[in-house]
Structure 1
Amino acid sequence: MTRRTGDLTPPAKPTRAQRKAELLSRIEQQRIDILVEAERWQLAAAPLDAGWQRLKRYRGLVYLAGGALLVGSARHPNSLIRLVKRLAAGGLLLNRARRLLQQVR
């Protein structure tokens, strides 16, 4: 049995009010999603922010030390390179030791 084209009724178009309500509910859901993601992002970034605040307290000392290193490096560049390498190695060693102690506990 075949159907004729006249037998099928097209789906009803949503009214303007229904479409507006649907769009408003979609916007509201997107706002909620943004708020949830913003909170998650702030929680994830909290350790970085705390570290940055700690560094900001010593900003003057960092500027002073940086200036001293620049003056010293202008006169003896090889000694500065050696010092930076040793500081980086020491920082990595401390970080690994801290992680190892956390795993042992």
Structure 2
Amino acid sequence: MNGRQERERQKTQLLRQIQQQRLELSACRRHWHEATAPLDRGWHTLLSLRSWLMVGSGLMAVWSVRHPHFF
């Protein structure tokens, strides 16, 4: 084989390797999203309840100021 054919063969091999790596990354990304989906849902639930938690803690603060001997 001459140098040009060898380079073309290497180029083809590298392009196949790159394509395989892309497929593996895509599969890993999909697996990662599936594995972390419950955590993401829980986090979004906490974020959606954050305003209610602030209101509740404010009410508890006001109540504890008005009734200091309860605790």
Output the TM-score relative to the length of structure 1. Answer: 0.48
1:50 is matched with 41
The structure with the greater share of residues assigned to helix is 2
Cα distance between partner residues in 1 of 2:51 and 2:28: 35
Q: What's the RMSD between the two structures over aligned residues? A: 2.7
Aligned residue identity for 2:32:
W
1:61 aligned residue (49, 52, 57): 52
1:24 is matched with 15
Q: Percent identity?
A: 32
Question: CA offset at residue 61 of structure 1?
Answer: 1.5
Larger radius of gyration: 1
Q: Which runs of 5+ in 1 are unaligned?
A: 1-11, 80-105
Cα distance between partner residues in 2 of 1:31 and 1:68: 53
Cα distance between partner residues in 2 of 1:46 and 1:23: 34
Output the TM-score relative to the length of structure 2. Answer: 0.68
Q: Deviations over 1:6-58 (max 9, x none)?
A: xxxxxx97711000001000000000000000000000001011111211221
Q: Which runs of 5+ in 2 are unaligned?
A: none
Cα distance between partner residues in 1 of 2:13 and 2:33: 30
> How many residues get paired?
63
